[in-house]
Amino acid sequence: MNKRLARQRIMAEINITPFTDVILVLLIIFMITTPLILQSSIKVNLPEAASGKPFTNARQINITVSNDNAMYIDDKLITRKELISQVRMAHKDNPDLEVILFSDKMVRFKNIVTILDDLNEIGIRNLNIAAKVEQ
């Protein structure tokens, strides 16, 4: 009778190996797709620069000016007044706010100077202009 009881006992261990495999696969997928999600969907032909370094910060605003002079904040089409008000509110919440300006190389310099002047009036001191490294 002891043999019969031994055969009927249920193994009460949990095998977490498949669970661990799934978690690791999800981690790898998120690590690969996160930079793709953070990239802007607005296509801008950036000017080239001989030097430069990648810049990422959670306390930043990305302003994009396309070749048709449309302005965007983080992929959202805005007017100049909206740009000023949104940057001013963000700067009020975070005085160390950093602004990155992505501008198509065919945009008139006058338009860029206008944006830079607006940012200066707001009090933005941390301003970067995006460029791609020369090949």
Spell out the per-residue pLDDT of the chain, length 135, in tens.
566 655 666 767 788 888 899 999 999 988 887 766 655 555 655 556 555 555 444 478 888 888 888 899 888 899 989 999 999 998 888 888 888 888 888 888 888 889 989 999 998 888 888 776 666
The residue among 71, 51, 54 whose CA lies nearest residue 63 is 71
Cβ neighbour number for residue 85 with a 10 Å cutoff: 13
How far is the C-alpha of 11 from the C-alpha of 63, rounded, in Å?
A: 60
Alpha helices in 1-135 (DSSP H): 2-8, 17-38, 80-93, 109-122
Question: ∠ CA(91), CA(126), CA(86), 5° rounding?
Answer: 30
Domain 48-133 has what CATH class?
alpha beta
Q: What is the pLDDT of residue 20?
A: 92
Q: What is the pLDDT of residue 108?
A: 86
Q: What is the pLDDT of residue 57?
A: 46
Would you kindly state where each structural domain of the chain is located, as residue ranges? Answer: 2-38, 48-133
pTM of the model: 0.56
Cα-Cα-Cα-Cα dihedral sign, residues 20, 24, 30, 31: positive
Q: What is the pLDDT of residue 25?
A: 93
